[in-house]
Amino acid sequence: MAKSGKRQLPQDEDPEDSSDLSDSDDSQHNEYDRDEGHHHGTPPSEKDLLEVKEKITANASDYEAHLLLISLLQRTDDFDALRLAREDMAKVFPLPEAVWSSWIRDEKRLATTPEEKLKVVALYERAVGDYLSVPIWLEYLSFLIEEYEDAKGGEEGGDGMDVDAAPWITPAVLREAFGKALNAAGFHFLQGNDIWKLMRDFEMSALEAAIATMRKLYLDRLKLPLTGLDEIFSEYSSFETRFDNAHYEELLKSANALVAVARKGVEERDVLERKLTHAGNGIDEFLAYIAYEKIKKSEPLRVRTIYERAVAVHCLDPRLWDAFICDMILLVKPTLMGLVDRALRNCGWSADLWATKLRLQGKFDEPKDIFDETFQKGLLAVSPLASLEESMKLLLARCEYFVRRAGGSLSIANLNQVPRRTRMLRMSELFIRSASTICGLYWGNVMPKLSLI
């Protein structure tokens, strides 16, 4: 068992053997190589440890004493002391390949967070700076590739790399490391080819992923009924000829089926686009276009795009904005409320748009102070220009907000909670005589739901 406060290496697996480093140019450290990496055996006595530490204290340049201390500490559970011994030696001497490799291997087994893994990278950088070591370069590059693959492992089930897990791992980081490795060891007559092969495998994997990404991009585009369909299909044909000619016929057959459906959609929409152009982008033609897409049950983004084209031309038509908001009602709150605010920036005088914002704030349970602020802004924007009936729309939206906060019912049981709300409803009916039509509709349709008649 480890002593309290001392960090232990994981015991679920034996450390890797250092035999892969037997061909190293640092053969002068063979005696150390045989012991390095074996974290088992009889623990050293405190006397043995003390004697070696005293030697180092007396002579920090005692190379063999440093190696012996590291070797002894590897037979203990005190990893913090082992790490310190390695650091102390590294301050005085460049470390041999086997010492670096064993140290880094231990740190990798403990590293679980991005910060800890970055420290492993820093150790690799120090290691390759001491001596030329192709094995350590290969370990370093393999470590980066493994972390990169783990980081983007969520790609199959998500939208990309898990940047929270390893924000430092990118293709650019890997290619920079490969470049440094090739400069340092790529011309090693006996081992340099191993660096080149590892880089080739990485780039081939990246190429295959890029081809798959490009294929998906082409096929996604060929599903869409947009202009330029034939040009894109021709490009896709050339793409498959170049990168997967063996499966060309099969791939093009599948793509042709997509294109046939998309081409029909292009022909139908081309008629609507020509009508739109002929009418000078008239609002009625835009609305007809939108109605067509809704009948076709097109993607919401397609309907939204046509609305965006329409409001870019008819930005001062509040009815268009109101229809836009109604058709986008299923959008998430920030997007929907952003759309409402855009509408009000263009048509701030519209009571309907202000009432829509008030109702949506009620739907999303906005706090009363925010709701009241919107109500006051709406009254100031609408009242100077509108009829009393228009102002009444804001008052009724305010009433609905309070009804919602009361739980949807103004029965006798909860009238005490909302005395001002009921008075507001009655006063608005008495005060705005000219709004008899809208008041009548309101009382006839809303109030039965509130258990007041």
pLDDT tens, residue by residue, 357-376: 999 999 999 999 999 999 99
DSSP 36: T
Q: What is the pTM of this model?
A: 0.68
- Over the stretch 84-119, which tens digit does the pLDDT of each residue have? 999 999 999 999 999 999 999 999 999 999 899 999
Backbone φ and ψ of 133, nearest 5°:
-145, 100
The reported pLDDT for the residue numbered 258 is 96
Alpha helices in 17-96 (DSSP H): 30-35, 46-58, 63-73, 79-92
Over 50: is that where the pLDDT of 410 sits? no
Percent of the chain with pLDDT over 90: 68
- pLDDT band at 39; cut points 50, 70, 90: low
Q: What are the Cα distances from residue 337, in Å, to 199, 256, 357, 371?
A: 50, 41, 8, 13
Determine which of 4-18, 327-341, 348-362 has the lowest per-residue pLDDT on average.
4-18
The reported pLDDT for the residue numbered 228 is 95
How far is it, in rounded angstroms, from Cα 451 to Cα 453?
6
The reported pLDDT for the residue numbered 42 is 87
- pLDDT band at 386; cut points 50, 70, 90: low
Over 70: is that where the pLDDT of 267 sits? yes
Q: To the nearest whole number, what is the mean pLDDT of the chain?
A: 83
Q: What are the Cα distances from residue 306, in Å, to 218, 267, 336, 341, 437?
A: 23, 17, 16, 19, 35
pLDDT: is 226 or 153 the higher one? Answer: 226
The first and second tokens of residue 48, run together, are: 């043995």
Determine which of 158-167, 268-277, 405-414 has the lowest per-residue pLDDT on average.
158-167
Q: Are 73 and 62 in contact (CB under 8 A)?
A: no
CB atoms within 10 A of CB 88: 16
How far is it, in rounded angstroms, from Cα 82 to Cα 103?
9
Q: What are the Cα distances from residue 123, in Å, to 106, 129, 176?
A: 11, 10, 17
- For the segment(s) 19-153+162-185, the CATH number from 1.10.4160, 1.10.3470, 3.30.70, 1.25.40 is 1.25.40
- pLDDT band at 12; cut points 50, 70, 90: very low
Q: Are 267 and 290 in contact (CB under 8 A)?
A: no
The reported pLDDT for the residue numbered 40 is 58
- CA 189 to the chain's CA centroid: 44
Mean per-residue pLDDT, 276-298: 95
The reported pLDDT for the residue numbered 432 is 46
- Over the stretch 326-342, which tens digit does the pLDDT of each residue have? 999 988 999 999 999 99
How far is it, in rounded angstroms, from Cα 28 to Cα 212?
50
The reported pLDDT for the residue numbered 9 is 55
pLDDT: is 427 or 259 the higher one? Answer: 259
Over 50: is that where the pLDDT of 2 sits? no
Over 90: is that where the pLDDT of 249 sits? yes
How far is it, in rounded angstroms, from Cα 42 to Cα 36?
15
Over 80: is that where the pLDDT of 318 sits? yes
Q: Are 372 and 414 in contact (CB under 8 A)?
A: no
Over 50: is that where the pLDDT of 158 sits? no
Mean per-residue pLDDT, 114-129: 95
Over 90: is that where the pLDDT of 408 sits? no
The reported pLDDT for the residue numbered 382 is 87
- CA 8 to the chain's CA centroid: 35
Q: Are 61 and 25 in contact (CB under 8 A)?
A: no
Mean per-residue pLDDT, 23-39: 43
How far is it, in rounded angstroms, from Cα 123 to Cα 347?
62
- Over the stretch 298-309, which tens digit does the pLDDT of each residue have? 889 999 999 999
The reported pLDDT for the residue numbered 441 is 52
Q: Are 351 and 390 in contact (CB under 8 A)?
A: yes
398-415: string of b/e by CB count within 10 Å (b at 16+)?
A: bbbbbbeebeeebeeeee
Over 80: is that where the pLDDT of 217 sits? yes
Please calculate the CA angle 24-26-30 and round it to the nearest 5 degrees: 90
The reported pLDDT for the residue numbered 439 is 53
- pLDDT band at 289; cut points 50, 70, 90: very high
pLDDT: is 358 or 165 the higher one? Answer: 358
Q: Angle between the 171-185 and 192-222 helix axes, to the nearest 10 degrees? A: 160
Over 70: is that where the pLDDT of 27 sits? no
Query: Which of 3-7, 120-124, 397-401, 406-410 has the highest mean predicted lDDT (pLDDT)?
Result: 120-124
Mean per-residue pLDDT, 141-151: 93
Over 80: is that where the pLDDT of 165 sits? no
Report the amino acid identity of residue 324. F
Q: Where are the beta strands (DSSP E) in 294-363?
A: none
How far is it, in rounded angstroms, from Cα 301 to Cα 47?
76
- pLDDT band at 24; cut points 50, 70, 90: very low
Burial label for 75, CB within 10 Å (0-12, 13-18, 19+), is middle
Over 90: is that where the pLDDT of 151 sits? no
How far is it, in rounded angstroms, from Cα 149 to Cα 230?
37
Mean per-residue pLDDT, 395-418: 68
Output Rg (C-alpha) for the chain, integer angstroms.
37
- Which is it for the CA torsion 240, 245, 247, 253, positive or negative? positive
Burial label for 306, CB within 10 Å (0-12, 13-18, 19+), is buried
How far is it, in rounded angstroms, from Cα 319 to Cα 404?
26
Mean per-residue pLDDT, 171-186: 95
Please calculate the CA angle 78-81-85 and round it to the nearest 5 degrees: 140
Over 80: is that where the pLDDT of 322 sits? yes
Question: Which helix (H) or strand (E) element contains residue 421?
Answer: helix 419-431
Q: Are 320 and 311 in contact (CB under 8 A)?
A: yes
The reported pLDDT for the residue numbered 450 is 44
